[in-house]
């Protein structure tokens, strides 16, 4: 059963390309008003034009922020709240990959900041609008890379022993742990939160900010990857289906629940990560 999403408000981070774009496009075609939260205004506008060319009645709004900056996350969240007192679906899709170590303006390793801390902070900041919806849903895009991940609590920035794949796997594991712990601590039962494995998708994430060897590996992986449209199917399903209402805190793959890694199922690791993330994001209480 597909819910009538006409009149619903859906926010998709990284909605200008890849899985995010396909998710935003389909939700728009199904009647939702979609907010594209993107780093580049030009790319966001291009995505809006592509969607409205296919569906002239589509309602697409734009929000611009560099998610590596907590200051910009806070600013854009406030702007969104001022314009939208209610949000029905939040898709934390934006992600990054970096071969080489680098820190954000807040002092955090870039993949950790963009892939984990940004959705953690944004979700908390937008919670007042989500709580105004009858059936609010939060969809966190993770990856089966989390099976190879470990949260390096003694050095989550991996400043002493950085490797791009290690940092990526850690951030994707954090997405699943965040999802599980959010389910434990959520303030109201009606909130549903999901972690998603989109599969091996032909996107450009591994071709940007990468050394030549890693770039070659990503290109080879893309040869057997699925399309971004196929990769978005589970996100679209979780945002639209009445069948999954209330089935919260789970890890999903190909529109079905999947068992995550042993580490991702650890309540101790999830609670510890939550507290660390609260501190790193400067959040003084669980929910606003």
CATH number where 72 lies: 3.40.50.720
| Domain that residue 149 falls in | 9-281
Question: What are the tens digits of pLDDT across the range 195-210?
Answer: 999 977 655 554 454 5
Tell me if 48 sits within 8 A of 60, measured CB to CB.
yes
In a domain, 198, yes or no: yes
Which tokens go with 206?
């591994």
Overall average pLDDT of the 220-241 stretch: 82
123 vs 211, more confident = 123
What is the C-alpha separation between 195 and 250, in angstroms, rounded?
6
In a domain, 3, yes or no: no
User: Cα dist. 158→61, 89, 236 in Å?
Assistant: 37, 33, 34
3, pLDDT greater than 70: no
In a domain, 139, yes or no: yes
In this prediction, residue 219 has a pLDDT band, given cuts at 50, 70 and 90, of: low
Task: Please say if the pLDDT value at position 254 is more than 60.
Answer: yes
Span 212-228, average pLDDT: 59
The continuous run of DSSP H or E covering 80 comes out as helix 70-83
From 174, 171, 139, select the one nearest 15 (Cα to Cα): 139
pLDDT tens digits along 73-130: 999 999 999 999 999 999 999 999 999 999 999 999 999 999 999 999 999 999 999 9
Question: pLDDT tier at 4 (50, 70, 90 boundaries)?
Answer: low
89 within domain boundaries: yes
Q: Is residue 287 part of a domain?
A: no
Domains identified in the chain, total number: 1
If you search the block for the tokens 């599980």, which residue do you land on? 180
- Within a domain: 2: no
User: Which class for 67: exposed (0-12), middle (13-18), buried (19 or more C-beta within 10 A)?
Assistant: buried
Q: Are 92 and 130 in contact (CB under 8 A)?
A: no
| Cβ neighbour number for residue 123 with a 10 Å cutoff | 19
Residue 140 belongs to some domain of the structure: yes
Tokens at residue 128, please? 């007042």
pTM: 0.91
| 21 backbone dihedrals φ, ψ, rounded to 5° | -65, -45
Q: If we measure between CA atoms, which residue out of 183, 43, 61 comes closest to residue 123?
A: 183
> Can you give the pLDDT at residue 6?
65
Kindly state whether residue 41 falls inside one of the protein's structural domains: yes
Q: Which residues of 220-258 are buried (b: 16+ CB within 10 A; e: fewer)?
A: eeeeeeeebbbbbbbbbbbbbeeebeeebbbbbbeeeee
Q: Which of 168, 194, 237, 251 is catalytic?
A: 168
Question: pLDDT tens across 23-70, in order?
Answer: 999 999 999 999 999 999 999 999 999 999 999 999 999 999 999 999
Q: What is the pLDDT of residue 217?
A: 56
Q: Is 251 a catalytic residue?
A: no
Q: pLDDT category, 212, cuts 50, 70, 90?
A: low
Q: Cα 144–146–152 angle (5° rounding)?
A: 170
| In the chain, % of residues over pLDDT 90 | 84
């Amino acid at each position: 059963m597909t819910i009538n999403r006409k009149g619903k408000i859906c926010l998709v981070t990284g909605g200008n390309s890849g899985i995010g774009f396909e998710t935003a496009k389909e939700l728009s075609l199904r009647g939702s008003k979609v907010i594209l939260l993107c780093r580049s205004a030009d790319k966001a506008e291009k995505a809006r034009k592509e969607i409205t060319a296919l569906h002239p009645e589509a309602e697409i709004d734009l929000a611009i922020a560099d998610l590596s900056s907590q200051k910009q996350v806070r600013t854009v969240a406030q702007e969104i709240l001022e314009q939208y007192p209610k949000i029905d679906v939040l898709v934390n899709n934006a992600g990054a990959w970096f071969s080489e170590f680098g820190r954000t303006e807040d002092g955090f390793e870039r993949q950790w900041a963009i892939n984990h801390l940004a959705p953690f902070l944004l979700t908390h900041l937008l919670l007042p609008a989500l709580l105004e919806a009858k059936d609010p849903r939060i969809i966190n895009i993770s990856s089966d890379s989390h099976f190879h991940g470990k949260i390096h609590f003694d050095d989550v920035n991996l400043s002493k022993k950085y490797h791009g794949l290690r940092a990526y796997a850690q951030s994707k594991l954090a997405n699943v742990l965040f999802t599980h712990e959010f389910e434990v601590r959520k303030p109201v039962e009606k909130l549903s939160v999901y972690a998603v494995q989109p599969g091996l998708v032909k996107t450009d994430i591994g071709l940007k900010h990468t050394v030549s060897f890693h770039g070659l590996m990503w290109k080879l992986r893309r040869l057997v990857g699925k399309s971004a449209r196929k990769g978005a199917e589970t996100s679209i399903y979780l945002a639209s289906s009445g069948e999954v209402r209330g089935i919260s805190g789970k890890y999903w793959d190909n529109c079905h629940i999947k068992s995550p890694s042993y580490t991702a199922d650890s309540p101790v690791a999830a609670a510890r990560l939550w507290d660390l993330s609260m501190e790193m994001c400067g959040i003084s209480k669980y929910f606003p």
